[in-house]
Amino acid sequence: MPPQAPLRLIKRCRLYLPRGDWEIPHITRGIYVLYRKKSGRRKTKVYEVFYIGVGGVSKKAKSGIGARIKNHDKTKENWTHYSFFEVHNNISREEILELEGLFLRIFRHDARVRLDNKQLGSDILRRLSKKSSPAWRVGD
């Protein structure tokens, strides 16, 4: 029996890598985050979320996380670090996009997060919230 993965969706991740430190293959599938490192007197490092994106959801061969982040290196300024979260092989394109939409919706109105994303979340999530009953019951 193969060993069980520690997480259901995420196969592996790398956190807070400096811009220019390209440690990911171009074809990696999953979600990535671009950050701005905040300066200050704190002993702990503080990173501000700048952009949330996905890679490996297109049929193009060079559309993985590595290629997407390297493209942002040319097109977006003001970010200093990145993290990426590679999904397991059995996670579909639609599930990756659903995760991205969920994170964009969560952070959409957070005053501490200034996303540079043009897309602000999933239309499907917005429609679901309108269809949901205001009188939810426990156990539904």
Whether the pLDDT of residue 140 is over 60: the answer is no
Identify which has the larger pLDDT, 123 or 37.
37
Q: Is 66 inside a domain boundary?
A: yes
pLDDT digits (tens, 9 = 90+) for 82-137: 999 999 999 998 899 889 988 888 887 777 777 777 666 666 666 666 665 555 55
Spatial separation of the C-alpha atoms in residues 4 and 26, rounded to whole Å: 26
- Give 54's pLDDT tier (boundaries 50, 70, 90): very high
Residue 76 counted as domain residue:
yes
- DSSP secondary structure, 71-119, as one string: HHHHH--S--EEEEEEEPTTS-HHHHHHHHHHHHHHHTT-TT-----S-
In a domain, 130, yes or no: no
14 vs 60, residue with greater confidence: 14
Could you read off the pLDDT of 75-88 as tens digits, one per residue?
888 899 999 999 99
* Residue 51 resides in a domain: yes
Which residues constitute the domain of residue 76? 10-122
Please report whether residue 133 resides in a domain: no
Query: Among 1-10, 23-32, 64-73, 128-137, where is mean pLDDT lowest?
Result: 128-137
Greatest Cα pair distance in the chain: 50
Q: How many domains does the chain have?
A: 1
At 65-75, the pLDDT tens digits run 998 999 899 88
State the burial class of residue 8 (Cβ atoms within 10 Å of its Cβ: 0-12, 13-18, 19+).
exposed
Integer Cα distance of 70 and 80 in angstroms: 13
Mean pLDDT for 40-50 is 79
